[in-house]
Amino acid sequence: MGRTYAIRTFGCQMNEHDSERIAGLLEDDGYQRASVLEEADVMVLNTCCIRENADNKLYGALGRLKAVKAKRPGALIAVAGCLAQKDRDLVRERAGHVDVVFGTHNVHRAAELIDHARRHGPVVEILTETVRDDVEAFPSALPVRREAAHSAWVTIQIGCDNSCTFCIVPAVRGPEISRPFGELVDEVRDLAAGGVSEVTLLGQNVNSYGRDLALSRRGSANGNGQAASAGDDAWWCGPAWTSDRRARPLFADLL
């Protein structure tokens, strides 16, 4: 058996989707999935930082994995996601046995960073924002390992511009960036052709989709008609993480 990986995910559906992409990247790189985190050659913790308890969960888990690393020095521990984006170098200051730290804007680099750590030692890479024109920055543009063959997540936008006093999301996920509508239509068509019958639209603030693209209501409605005919069989599409604060007819047209 070749090298193995396992991922433990904390937090929201976007984190779950990011974990699917990390899994897809590692499997493209030749890794096989292990059923038990502590038995894997690469142990990935994909983190959340919405509540203080999320911090406690991460560092508690890292404390337990320290003993695993002591028994298997060749195993690698990677910390990804929102808490990694927030704490940056602090992760390795608090848990020096961590080998890889990467944030929310460079999920597409997961396999490369893990390979770098295996060859050259610990690495911390945190980007400050997603590059709008870098399609690899969007989770749906990467390889995927889905748990259910009939359902899929599709990222339509990332980030949030609300800057609510109580919320850390804009700081760790960045400003709002929408994916081009035609790109979404093509992705849903491909999913439908592959047997997917249920699609959930993902984003930090999905009902602000298109604000940065200057989409017209007419254009989005026409695009939706194309998406609805993507497959011969009936399928369902719905949003996740909506907020009434920015509900608008444009988003309704997308469905």
Averaged pLDDT, 6-29: 93
Q: What are phi and psi of 178, to 5 degrees?
A: -100, 145
CATH number of 4-125: 3.40.50.12160
The pLDDT, as a whole number, for residue 218 is 46
Alpha carbon distance 164, 218 (integer Å):
31
pLDDT over threshold 80, residue 121? yes
Alpha carbon distance 135, 18 (integer Å):
14
| DSSP symbols for the chain | ---EEEEEE-S-HHHHHHHHHHHHHHHHTT-EE-SSGGGSSEEEEEE--SSHHHHHHHHHHHHHHHHHHHH-TT-EEEEEEHHHHHHTTHHHHH-TT--EEE-TT-GGGHHHHHHHHHHH--EEE--SS--TT-GGGSGGGS----S-TTEEEEE-EE------TT--HHHHH-S-EEPPHHHHHHHHHHHHHTT--EEEEE-TTGGGTTTTTT--HHHHHHHHHHHHTSSSS--EEEESS--GGG--HHHHHH-
Cβ 101 vs Cβ 78: under 8 Å: yes
Domain assignments of the chain as residue spans, ordered by start: 4-125, 146-254
The topology under which CATH files domain 146-254 is Transcription Regulator spoIIAA (3.30.750)
Per-residue pLDDT reduced to its tens digit, 124-134 = 999 887 665 55
47 pairs with which residues across the strands? 81
pTM of the model: 0.80
Which of 179, 181, 183, 192 lies closest to 230 in space, CA to CA?
192
pLDDT: which is higher, 221 or 204:
204
Of 6-15, 125-134, 175-184, which gets the smallest average pLDDT? 125-134
Alpha carbon distance 33, 40 (integer Å):
8
Which of 60, 12, 7, 16 lies closest to 169 in space, CA to CA?
12
pLDDT over threshold 50, residue 193? yes
Q: Whole-number mean pLDDT of the chain?
A: 83
- Within 13 Å and on the Cβ side, how many CA atoms surround 128? 0
